[in-house]
Amino acid sequence: MNSALLYATFISLLFAISLQSQHINGLTAVATPGSFDNDPYKRIKQTNAQWACLVPYGFTRKEESTVHYNMDRQWWGEKKEGIIENITLLRQNEMKVMLKPQVYVPGGWPGDINFDSDNGWEEWEASYKAFILFYLDIAIAEEVEIFCIGTEFKHSVAQRPQFWKDLIQEMRKTYCGKLTYSANWDHYREISFWPYLDYIGVSAYFPLVNKKEPTVKQIKKAWEPWISDMAQYSEKQNIPILFTEYGYLTVDGCTYNTWELEKKVKSTAINEQAQANAFEALYSMLWDEPFWAGGFIWKWFPNDQGHEGYIPRDYTPKNKKAETVITKWFGKDKHN
């Protein structure tokens, strides 16, 4: 067993013990178009959140092998100066950070990225490596606690696992924080390099109950098989599971097939109670599970910047019934 793998195994064992009584209670703070006139994280602290996830986007066009990032036309919150300012404000509020650079594919999904030849893959991998190491350098300089190395690259992780293993080992040479990868809920079991990481990262949009406003009891029942699977897999890998993303739209039917609901969200009825029930059920089922490290709610708009125009229906729990639920559960750890 090489040194990187030994290190990851040792750290994972420590976290399996420590996280039984303390969770990563976080919110994803959306990158904003402009800088802040006042500190947005004082408001986030009102939820009892102790962590924030920052998500600077790069982008790759379909059938292109280049990842574009830190460009002038991108939003302030995605560029180096914006990320550093956000981290500075988070530190002033005594909050911890996960940095999660993501690749946006216009009209598609990162899981669609695929190439017919080794040359195509190698060109994309070289560009992606430059992208991810650019943000890793920020994480190192700013002493970011967790860094996410990638998000939902379904074909890449299946066809090119050695690229990811080599990338992780290179990152370990300079980065002292914890590393994770964010796998979609339906293929986290297919990742071969979890032993090199500190958390099994899951984008936790599991399909649960196909009803407009399911009760907490109904949602809890639907969680049972998913939790059983995760518990078994976490024990097998000996690594805790971190929800790198989780959340619910504020509309009818928010506990089922979120990716389909997003396409019609603007025409779907607002339903704060459905969203609140979903969060209550999630925490009720997962809070005392030893394998669950916590996670980052998708999403929060700092000072209401960066939204797409439908906040009442969006994932954000701010000023909704769900915020009361989240604040209650996050407060359990705050007072430990």
Please spell the DSSP secondary structure of 216-283, one letter per residue. Answer: HHHHHHHHHHHHHHHHHHHHHHT--EEEEEE---SBTTTTS-HHHHGGGGGGSPB-HHHHHHHHHHHH
Count of CB atoms within 10 A of residue 83's CB?
Answer: 25
**Which of the residues in the chain have pLDDT under 50?**
11-20
Measure the CA–CA gap between 169 and 189, rounded to whole angstroms.
Answer: 21
pLDDT at 148: 98
Measure the CA–CA gap between 149 and 164, rounded to whole angstroms.
Answer: 9
Dmax over CA atoms of the chain, in Å, equals 54
| pLDDT tens per residue, range 75-107 | 999 999 999 999 999 999 999 999 999 999 988
**Sequence-ordered alpha helix ranges (H) in the chain:** 3-18, 41-45, 80-92, 118-141, 154-159, 161-172, 216-237, 258-261, 272-286, 321-334
pLDDT at 336: 55
Measure the CA–CA gap between 301 and 314, rounded to whole angstroms.
Answer: 10
pLDDT at 16: 47
Break the chain into its structural domains and give their ranges.
Answer: 3-334
pLDDT at 171: 98
Coil, helix or strand for 79?
coil
Any idea which residue has 């924080």 for tokens? 177
pLDDT at 211: 98
Q: Residue 266 in contact with residue 39, Cβ under 8 Å? A: no
| pLDDT tens per residue, range 52-74 | 999 999 999 877 899 999 998 89
Please state the CATH superfamily assignment of the domain spanning residues 3-334 in this structure: Glycosidases (3.20.20.80)
Count of CB atoms within 10 A of residue 312's CB?
Answer: 11
pTM of the shown model: 0.92
pLDDT at 19: 42
pLDDT at 335: 58
pLDDT at 275: 98
